Amino acid sequence: MERIVIGMADCGIAADARSRLVTYALGSCIGLALYDPVAAVGGLLHFMLPDSTQFPGKATENPYKFADTGIPLMLDRLCAQGASKKRLVVYMAGGAQILDSEGVFEIGKRNCLAARRVLWKHGLLLAGEAVGGMDFRTVTLEVATGRFMLDEAGRPRELTPAVRKKGESTWRTVS
Residue 53 sits in a domain of what CATH number?
Answer: 3.30.1330.200
Q: Are strands 2-5 and 19-26 parallel, antiparallel or unpaired?
A: parallel
Structural domain that includes position 89? 2-174
CB 134, CB 98: distance < 8 Å: yes
What's the pLDDT tens digit per position in 92-140? 999 999 876 665 679 999 999 999 999 999 999 999 999 999 999 999 9
Residue 112 has, within 13 A of its CA and on its CB side, a CA count of: 21
Q: Which range, of 66-70, 83-87, 134-138, 161-165, averages the lowest pLDDT? A: 161-165
User: How many domains does the structure of the chain reveal?
Assistant: 1
Q: What is the dihedral of CA 157, 141, 11, 151, to 10 degrees?
A: 10
What's the pLDDT tens digit per position in 13-49? 999 999 999 999 999 999 999 999 999 999 999 999 9
Q: What is the dihedral of CA 70, 24, 107, 173, to 10 degrees?
A: 100
Catalytic residue ranges: 29
